[in-house]
Amino acid sequence: MSLLNRRPISIGREIREFRDDRVFVVATDDTYAPEQYFKHLALRRVRVLVLPTERGESAPTHVVERLKAAYDIYAAKKQIQKGDEFWIFLDRDHHFKGTHTPQTLEALRVGKTAGFEVAISNPCFELWLLLHHEEVLPDAELDNCAAVESSLRARLGSYNKTNILPGQFPLDLVEIAIHRARGLEKSPDSPTTLLPLPIGTRVYRLLEKILSPAL
């Protein structure tokens, strides 16, 4: 099935309990973790719609195409309201290395031109989850996702990205996770590098928007 033929859920009355509820649409290169995370986050007056990767279509080009297709459908139906935002979630992997880099940069350029926000995690989204439970220093030996997931299991006793349990990453720990993620950035209010370096996750930027009152 073409990405353009996929029909994501509409942003209609079944999504907005109140007319001015905000909606954040997130396209991710991950199949499970972000969707599981936001499903259990008890948010008020905010809905997060996650467009996960399917059939291995996780390249940044596919992620951006998926988000653009959803945006076009919502726009055509006049369902986008003030305060709604569209986000690209990517992990650092081989798409940011070698010959893959130009395609990745072009996909991000297309996304930014469309007005989409970008949140890249280095090495992966699970670092954002880990920050709910412990501080991570820039020199931590977490240079791959397996190491991050191992730390999560050591902290929580168990972790399964396909079945995140309610209460593992509660809303009352999000602000401390934001604080810790910002601490890994040299310029957290205006990052100057594409990737958080040496490690980090820009998911905090989305959660800051979600927790802030609508303007």
- pLDDT the model gives residue 214: 63
- pLDDT the model gives residue 6: 54
Give the list of residues 6+ apart from residue 14 with CB closer than 8 angstroms, or none.
Answer: none
CA–CA separation, 122 vs 198, rounded Å?
A: 8
Helix (H) or strand (E) holding 25: strand 22-28
| Tokens coding 41 | 């986050």
Per-residue pLDDT of the chain (215 residues; tens, 9 = 90+): 344 445 567 898 778 988 899 999 999 999 999 999 999 999 999 999 999 998 888 999 999 999 999 999 999 999 999 999 999 999 998 888 888 899 999 999 999 999 999 999 999 999 999 999 999 999 999 999 999 999 999 999 999 999 999 999 999 999 999 999 999 999 999 999 999 999 999 999 999 999 998 65
* DSSP states along 37-90: HHHH---SSEEEEEE---TT--SHHHHHHHHHHHHHHHHHTT---TT-EEEEEE
- Backbone φ and ψ of 186, nearest 5°: -75, -35
| Tokens coding 72 | 């076009």
- Output the pTM of the full model: 0.93
